[in-house]
Amino acid sequence: MALGVVFMGGGSGGHLYPALAIAERVRDEAPDARFVHLCSQRAIDARILTAEGAEFVTVPARPPGKSPGAMLRFMRSWGPSVRAARGVIGQLKREGRTVVPVAMGGFVAAPCVMGARAEKLGVLMTNLDAVPGLANRWIAKRAKTIVTAAPVAGRGWEQIPPLVRRAAIPSDPPETCRERFGLDSNAPTLFVTGGSQGAWSLNELLVALAQHESDPLTGWQVIHQTGAEASPEIATIYKNMGARAWVSEYLDDMASAWGAADLALARAGAGAVGEAWASQTPCAFLPYPYHKDQHQKMNAMPLVEAGGAVLIEDQINPVKTLAQGLPVLRELLSSEPKRAAMRQALHTLGTADGAQRVAKLILAST
């Protein structure tokens, strides 16, 4: 019987890219499988999934919030989101497909899980962060199978390596990757990314670093994914300093960016951590500072503990962050042996084949 996989999750690339990674591994063994992504109405979801040629259906799910207005929008969106999920699942059933619902976490997933349960289907939940969010804690009580791509203490969930799509895993030499960005093929390269939506404080930190009187970026070139609206300003700063840089709001060719990098400066979302692992790129992680549970910090710990990454506290104010992190950054930028040792440490973590493992669970359902 043909397979139908319904991925439930959206709102950011962190929920979408792991689903795409799973889909490509399932397709290797089941080329006639149909994949439908139930995602949010945010523009980033349509942008990512359209670029990937993926089939998707938006649902009106809204995140819960503390304000009465936010809670009202959350409650009003719940029923229509459940019905949207049931509609997609019902259509796949009518095609004669074995339907496997896969929850990727977040506010979109929760009502869609209820839709799957109403259709009498067991849910496979894929947890991505080291500290599960409210939605995943809720879904876990209702899922048939749970896997986690990050260590989750005391829960008994099956841990797997990160889920990384092939388009984010380098396959070409660094020289070739750098040339794709119009950069010097032989110059050391720093990759800066705040995730699919960028990170203001990370952008400002690079501005402060580039303008620092000791100029620690001397001899380096930069690939900088800024997020919306910031790229013209950042590009101008690099140009005025005579620094070679490729700067853009968004970055599609992640494999080449990681492949070009001698060092990365990044947030510590599950996606960035997984891609650093898969590409064996030494990283300085600046976890998102506003999460009370500090789950990004916990996401990065396997790489930090292995010796392949370091943590720098994002203090919001770029001057303060740089004052605290400059000794660490200076060492990483100036010491090739240090970076080589970090890369070797990442190699010891093994293959980031979590997507393949989830694919096997899905295929076993047919």
Q: How confident is the model at residue 290 (pLDDT cuts 50, 70, 90)?
A: low
Q: In this predicted model, what pLDDT tens digit does every residue of 111-144 receive, in sequence order?
A: 999 999 999 999 999 999 988 989 999 999 999 9
Burial per residue of 328-356, b for 16 or more beta-carbon CB atoms within 10 angstroms, e otherwise: ebeebbeeeeebeebbebbeebeebbbbb
Q: How far apart are CA 147 and CA 170, in angstroms?
A: 26
Q: How confident is the model at residue 229 (pLDDT cuts 50, 70, 90)?
A: low
Overall average pLDDT of the 309-336 stretch: 89
Q: Are 352 and 364 in contact (CB under 8 A)?
A: no
Q: How far apart are CA 94 and CA 66, in angstroms?
A: 40
Q: How far apart are CA 30 and CA 24, in angstroms?
A: 10
The predicted pLDDT at position 204 comes to: 83
Q: How confident is the model at residue 110 (pLDDT cuts 50, 70, 90)?
A: very high
3-state secondary structure of 189: strand
Q: Residue 251 contacts by C-beta under 8 Å, 6 or more apart in sequence?
A: 193, 223, 225, 257
Say if residue 146's pLDDT is above 80: yes
The DSSP symbol for 251 reads -
The predicted pLDDT at position 224 comes to: 93
3-state secondary structure of 232: helix
Overall average pLDDT of the 284-309 stretch: 87
Overall average pLDDT of the 43-58 stretch: 95
Q: Are 255 and 169 in contact (CB under 8 A)?
A: yes
Structure tokens at 240: 């005025």
Q: Are 64 and 107 in contact (CB under 8 A)?
A: yes
pTM over 0.85: yes
Among 29-38, 47-56, 102-111, 229-238, the least confident range: 229-238
Angle CA(8)–CA(276)–CA(123) in degrees, nearest 5?
20
Say if residue 197's pLDDT is above 80: no
What is the rounded average pLDDT for all residues in the chain?
Answer: 91
Structure tokens at 270: 């599950």
Which one is predicted more confidently, 206 or 346?
A: 346
Q: Could you tell me which residues are beta bridge partners of residue 127?
A: 148
Q: Are 241 and 210 in contact (CB under 8 A)?
A: yes
For the chain, give every residue range classified as CATH 3.40.50.2000. Answer: 3-161+352-363, 168-347
Say if residue 86's pLDDT is above 80: yes
H/E run at residue 359: helix 354-363
Bridge-based pairing state of the strands 263-266 and 283-285: parallel
CATH number, domain 3-161+352-363:
3.40.50.2000
Say if residue 205's pLDDT is above 90: no
Q: Are 178 and 218 in contact (CB under 8 A)?
A: no
* Fold type of domain 168-347: Rossmann fold (3.40.50)
CA dihedral angle for residue 258, residue 263, residue 264, residue 270, rounded to 10 degrees = 70
Q: How confident is the model at residue 291 (pLDDT cuts 50, 70, 90)?
A: low
Among 153-167, 196-210, 212-226, 272-286, the least confident range: 196-210
**Torsional sign, CA 62, 63, 64, 65:** negative
The predicted pLDDT at position 154 comes to: 67
Q: Are 124 and 361 in contact (CB under 8 A)?
A: yes
